[in-house]
Amino acid sequence: DGGITQSPKYLFRKEGQNVTLSCEQNLNHDAMYWYRQDPGQGLRLIYYSQIVNDFQKGDIAEGYSVSREKKESFPLTVTSAQKNPTAFYLCASSRGPKQETQYFGPGTRLLVL
Amino acid sequence: KQEVTQIPAALSVPEGENLVLNCSFTDSAIYNLQWFRQDPGKGLTSLLLIQSSQREQTSGRLNASLDKSSGRSTLYIAASQPGDSATYLCAAAGGTSYGKLTFGQGTILTVHP
């Protein structure tokens, strides 16, 4: 059963803490993406990766970091530098770096304690 | 910079009605236009993708059209059902080498029995 999994479903962050959101796909897709969604707004791109060991900043990368050591995995770390991290985070993948359909995971909701 | 706008922000219709959701974009240099569905607290599900060279795409009761020259796309839903209730998002894929999507804010659709 192919797809994208994200964990955890809910995540709580304390002040000054770094937290990592997991994203795994078994679709054999080269490209992966991280988006942030705030209430009543569309999705905004945080980081994207076209291939293993390569990634680029999106529109709102400040306060976030990523790695792409394996094709299947694209974890996102929300650092303490991100002052307003409360949001719904969505991971997506597509077959290649060209303009193709993106498939989304179920999302992780991050809340600040 | 690409900007995507969706009108209306919310729509409530009785079951069985045909309806149209509108999406406009400011930069016509797009590779494709994608429509997604999002249920509350869930990830996005891809509905239709229209390549820049195409005028429309159909899937079941859904039909999406694209007019690049006017910067508009419409999603037509025939014979609406309560199960169609969700947020509908359109996204324009920009003219770059990677799959950057610029999203609209979405239209919240409620179909009541």
- What tokens were used for B26? 């400011």
B46 and chain A in contact, CB less than 8 A:
yes
Residue A94 contacts B, CB cutoff 8 Å:
yes
Partners of residue B104 in chain A, C-beta under 8 Å: 42
pLDDT of residue A2: 66
Residue of A nearest to B44 (CA): A104
Q: How many helices (H) and strands (E) does chain B have?
A: 0, 11
* Per-residue pLDDT at A113: 82
Q: What is the pLDDT along chain A (113 residues), one digit of tens a residue?
A: 569 999 999 999 888 899 999 999 999 999 999 999 998 778 999 999 999 999 999 999 999 999 999 999 999 999 988 889 999 999 999 987 666 889 999 999 999 88
Q: Which two tokens stand for residue A86?
A: 């409360």
Contact criterion met (CB < 8 Å) for B93 and A43: no
Q: What are the residue ranges in chain B where pLDDT is below 50?
A: 97
Q: Do A90 and B44 touch (CB under 8 A)?
A: yes
Q: Is the dihedral of CA A15, A6, A106, A50 positive or negative?
A: positive
Considering only CB atoms, B100 lies closest to which of A45, A101, A106, namely A45
What is residue A67's three-state secondary structure? coil
